[in-house]
Amino acid sequence: MTQYIVLSAILFTIGCVGVLTRRNAIVVFMCVELMLNACNLAFVAFARQHGNLDGQITAFFVMVVAAAEVVIGLAIIMTIFRTRRSASVDDASLLKY
Amino acid sequence: MNLLSHSALLVGLPMAEEGAHAPVVAPDMGAGGVFDLLWLVIALPVLGAVLLLGVAPFLPPSLRATVDKHGHLLGTAMAALSFVLSLVLFVTLLGRDAEERQIGQQLWTWFETGSLTVGMDLLYDPLAALFLLLITGVGSLIHVYAIGYMEHDPRRRRFFGYLNLFVAAMLTLVLSANFVGLFLGWEGVGLASYLLIGFWQHKPSAAAAAKKAFVINRVGDIGLSLAIALMFATFGTTDFGAVSELAGEADQGTLNALGLLLLLGACGKSAQVPLQAWLLDAMEGPTPVSALIHAATMVTAGVYLVVRANFIYELTPVAQTAVVVVATVTLLWGAILGCAKDDIKKALAGSTMSQIGYMMLAAGLGPAGYPYAIFHLLTHGFFKANMFLGAGSVMHGMNDDVDMRHYGALRKAMPVTFLTFAMGYLAIIGFPGFSGFWSKDRIIETALAENLLVGILALLGAGITAFYMTRLMLMTFFTSKRWEEDVHPHESPRVMTVPLIVLAALSVLGGVLLLGDWIKTWLEPVTGTVEHHEPPLPAIVITLIITAVVAIGVAAAWFLVGRREIPREAPRDVSFATRAARADLYGDAINDAVVVRPGAGLVGGLTAFDRHGVDGAVEGGSLAVGGLSSTLRRVQNGFVRSYALSLLGGALLVVLALLAVNLR
């Protein structure tokens, strides 16, 4: 059990660091997915531990939301890339004070 | 309360005897007959005022010119009709038995909130009857006089509208059967007084005088309105009948407060010390106004209030003592002012103040004094209106000059004015046989019987009255000519002299009201009776003493004024007393020091606090928020990754907070 949680934490941390440090939007995106799936892992592990289905159901929800998010997110990234010829998240910083 | 009643004992006034109650007001409703027309007495002048002030300005120009030309006739007719009706009512009332002389009339419910109901109710009783005759009678005469006096004024129609408004308000004041209705009239006369003092509004002095009168009257009105509120709180009603019944059960503190608050109201309206400063300035108004409002009727409303509220004053010796003290101070104060003024109207105004002091004094002496207060009020209404109109007639002939130092030897130029004025003069100084003699004599006699000190001061006042009135008389009608060069004194037209003659006749004959103590018996249903104390000396001796004091006053005036040459300019190197009297005994200076300057200081302080304290807090707060937000908006830098960092930070904070709460 502990191993699952530790793995989940490691994956989440990697995803987190990736989101904060990488500039490429696609990589940031992948890191977000990594964090989501780290959470999924923890959910499923806890569901197994407690012997009920709540965690597994939540994991399915997370997957569905993640799928929807990927669709919209990739579309946005594509559009930005078409106009700016760049996939760097730091370049799209016009919306500010 | 203990302390206060102690002071009452110090002054030595009799405490109200146990169980000495004023008669309960219990009007006979639906008396029928001519009494059903009671409302019409008020409605007629109201109609006049509405037509002249409310309708006339909206008429087509040609019609309006006609109204402007003849509007005064309508105003005068309304006052005269009201007088005729008052006379009929009075005669009818005279025919009734003494117990049935209180007639009530309920017109409509004025307002109703919760448990409070205030009706538009009228009360016609012997007291109101006398006032009705005075107001409409003297009022009509002054309307007639004003036709001549205001002849060349382009706004004569408006003047008569205001006069009718005044008469209506004054009639409401004396006819109302509850204190709220009385207050309506009270404010109405205040408004009319304001409008009429400032009638010549193009003169800054008149506008300022009107404002001064209005503001000082407000101070008194606060007293009256608080008294009404206290009555609502204590009795749940302000009807004279109910209050007179319930007053006996109220506790002493409430009664004292009621009496003192009503006195404050009376002081404002009747120009009693300490609210006396407005009356002399009020002389800026046209002279008929001074005669009607500031001599005969409105300024005596305070006396009416005290006499009307006798059922309260009977139960509160503290307030009665206060009335006597105020009255005594005022009667001397006004008399002293009268001695020093060179402006004929201001000298008369000082005299009015002093004479109202006499009335208040009598009213403060309880049932023994009430009838004489009203008696003096009536005779004063006659002779003072007479003299004011006489002064107006003199001014009319002297190109509106009011300085007596520019008069002199007018008796030949204006014989009718002189003779009528002389009747008023003899009445006010108390020349034996004239009306003022009877009324003032009775007041001083009663005062001597109740309290020796007050009586002697009132006696002294009579001497000073004789002095300043003789001075006025000598400077105006006798001594040498001191006229301005282009002045040609002439007798006033008939329309002005006829009212003078009628008022002079009344000044002479007013004493008949005392025949067989008629006025005392007549007012008994209102004021009640009490065994009054025997004066320290036989009445005839007192009368002789008063007459002697008056003679001394007249002689003093002759020696100091009549024998000498009167300079056309007021001498400057005069004694301190004269300077003080010329400066209204520093009444304005006192007001300025006690009220105006501290008030201005307070307002200045409050403004500064508002500007720097309140505004500072508000503006400082907004500045702080603005500065903070302009710093904070830098956080919105557009970099997604920095948003992600703050998100993470936030999430960590939430987790830490959850842990902190759960682990505790």
Min CA distance, B642 vs chain A (Å)? Answer: 8
Min CA distance, A55 vs chain B (Å)? Answer: 20
Over the stretch A19-73, which tens digit does the pLDDT of each residue have?
Answer: 999 989 999 999 999 999 999 999 999 999 999 899 999 999 999 999 999 999 9
Q: Which amino acid is at B219?
A: V
Min CA distance, B641 vs chain A (Å)? Answer: 5
With beta carbons under 8 A apart, name residues in chain A contacting B644: 19-20
Q: Tell me, what's the pLDDT at B18? A: 41
> What confidence tier does B21 reach under pLDDT thresholds 50, 70, 90?
low
Nearest CA in chain B to A89: B640
With beta carbons under 8 A apart, name residues in chain B contacting A84: none
With beta carbons under 8 A apart, name residues in chain A contacting B640: 28, 89-90, 92-93
Over the stretch B51-65, which tens digit does the pLDDT of each residue have?
Answer: 999 888 888 888 888
With beta carbons under 8 A apart, name residues in chain B contacting A28: 640-641
Q: Tell me, what's the pLDDT at B173? A: 94
| B32 at A interface, C-beta within 8 A | no
| B629 at A interface, C-beta within 8 A | no
A13-17, B11-15, B86-90, B392-396: least confident range? B11-15
Query: What would the mean pLDDT of B581-607 be, rounded to a whole number?
Result: 86
Note the CATH architecture for domain A2-84: Orthogonal Bundle (1.10)
Which residue among A19, A20, A96 places its CB closest to the CB of B638?
Answer: A96
| B638 at A interface, C-beta within 8 A | yes
Which residue among B638, B639, B644 places its CB closest to the CB of A19?
Answer: B644
Residues on chain A bordering chain B, Cβ-to-Cβ distance under 8 angstroms: 16, 19-21, 23, 28, 89-90, 92-97
Mean pLDDT of chain B: 88
With beta carbons under 8 A apart, name residues in chain B contacting A21: 641
- Distance of alpha carbon B232 from alpha carbon A24, whole angstroms: 83
**Contact assessment for residue B28 and residue B102, using Cβ atoms and an 8 Å cutoff:** yes
Q: Tell me, what's the pLDDT at B564? A: 78
- Distance of alpha carbon B58 from alpha carbon B55, whole angstroms: 6
Q: Tell me, what's the pLDDT at B329? A: 93
Which residue among A89, A94, A97 places its CB closest to the CB of B634?
Answer: A97
Mutation target to probe the B interface, by most B beta carbons within 10 A, among A12, A13, A14, A19 is A19
- Distance of alpha carbon B491 from alpha carbon B19, whole angstroms: 58
- Distance of alpha carbon B150 from alpha carbon B249, whole angstroms: 53
> What confidence tier does A93 reach under pLDDT thresholds 50, 70, 90?
confident
- Distance of alpha carbon B366 from alpha carbon B291, whole angstroms: 29
| B516 at A interface, C-beta within 8 A | no
Quote the radius of gyration of chain B (alpha carbons, Å).
30
3-class state of residue B430 by DSSP: coil
Q: Tell me, what's the pLDDT at B2? A: 41
Min CA distance, B664 vs chain A (Å)? Answer: 24
Counting one residue from chain A and one from chain B, the pairs whose CB atoms sit within 8 A come to: 32
With beta carbons under 8 A apart, name residues in chain A contacting B637: 93, 96-97
- Distance of alpha carbon B325 from alpha carbon B332, whole angstroms: 11
Q: What angle do CA B570, B574, B580 make, to 5 degrees?
A: 95
A14-18, B4-8, B212-216: least confident range? B4-8
Q: Where are the domains of chain A?
A: 2-84
Is the Cβ pair B633, A20 closer than 8 Å? Answer: no
Cβ contacts of B301 within 8 Å, gap of 6 or more: B170, B173, B186, B189, B266, B269, B270
Position B10 pLDDT exceeds 60: no
- Distance of alpha carbon B386 from alpha carbon B292, whole angstroms: 10
Q: Tell me, what's the pLDDT at B561? A: 83
B21-25, B340-344, B476-480: least confident range? B21-25
The DSSP secondary-structure symbol of B224 reads: H
Min CA distance, B646 vs chain A (Å)? Answer: 10
Measure Cα distances from B172 to B40, B138, B177, B188, B310 in Å: 11, 17, 9, 9, 19
> What confidence tier does B531 reach under pLDDT thresholds 50, 70, 90?
low
Query: What would the mean pLDDT of B457-472 be, rounded to a whole number?
Result: 92
Min CA distance, B651 vs chain A (Å)? Answer: 12
Is the Cβ pair A97, B637 closer than 8 Å? Answer: yes
With beta carbons under 8 A apart, name residues in chain A contacting B633: 97
| B630 at A interface, C-beta within 8 A | no
Mutation target to probe the A interface, by most A beta carbons within 10 A, among B629, B640, B648 is B640
- Distance of alpha carbon B373 from alpha carbon B116, whole angstroms: 34
With beta carbons under 8 A apart, name residues in chain B contacting A93: 637-640
Over the stretch B222-275, which tens digit does the pLDDT of each residue have?
Answer: 999 999 999 999 998 899 988 988 888 888 999 999 999 999 999 999 999 888
Q: Tell me, what's the pLDDT at B16? A: 41
With beta carbons under 8 A apart, name residues in chain B contacting A91: none
Query: What would the mean pLDDT of B194-199 be, rounded to a whole number?
Result: 93
With beta carbons under 8 A apart, name residues in chain A contacting B639: 89-90, 93
State the pairing for strand pair B28-29/B103-113. Answer: parallel
Q: Tell me, what's the pLDDT at B9? A: 39
Over the stretch B330-369, which tens digit does the pLDDT of each residue have?
Answer: 999 999 988 888 899 999 999 999 999 999 999 998 888 8
The DSSP secondary-structure symbol of B32 reads: -
- Distance of alpha carbon B242 from alpha carbon B248, whole angstroms: 11
Is the Cβ pair A90, B637 closer than 8 Å? Answer: no
> What confidence tier does B70 reach under pLDDT thresholds 50, 70, 90?
confident
Over the stretch B109-125, which tens digit does the pLDDT of each residue have?
Answer: 888 888 888 888 899 98
3-class state of residue A24 by DSSP: strand
Over the stretch B277-311, which tens digit does the pLDDT of each residue have?
Answer: 899 889 988 999 999 988 889 999 999 999 999 99
Q: What angle do CA A48, A51, A52 make, to 5 degrees?
A: 105
Is the Cβ pair A20, B641 closer than 8 Å? Answer: yes
Phi, psi of A44 (to 5 degrees): -65, -40
With beta carbons under 8 A apart, name residues in chain A contacting B638: 92-96
Which residue among A92, A95, A97 places its CB closest to the CB of B633?
Answer: A97
Is the Cβ pair A92, B640 closer than 8 Å? Answer: yes
Q: Which amino acid is at B497?
A: T
**Contact assessment for residue A40 and residue A2, using Cβ atoms and an 8 Å cutoff:** no
Position B8 pLDDT exceeds 60: no
| B639 at A interface, C-beta within 8 A | yes
| B653 at A interface, C-beta within 8 A | no
Query: What would the mean pLDDT of B27-53 be, rounded to a whole number?
Result: 86
**Contact assessment for residue B221 and residue B186, using Cβ atoms and an 8 Å cutoff:** yes
Query: What would the mean pLDDT of B548-555 be, rounded to a whole number?
Result: 92
Cβ contacts of B464 within 8 Å, gap of 6 or more: B332, B335, B336, B338, B339, B354, B553
Give the pTM: 0.78
With beta carbons under 8 A apart, name residues in chain A contacting B650: none
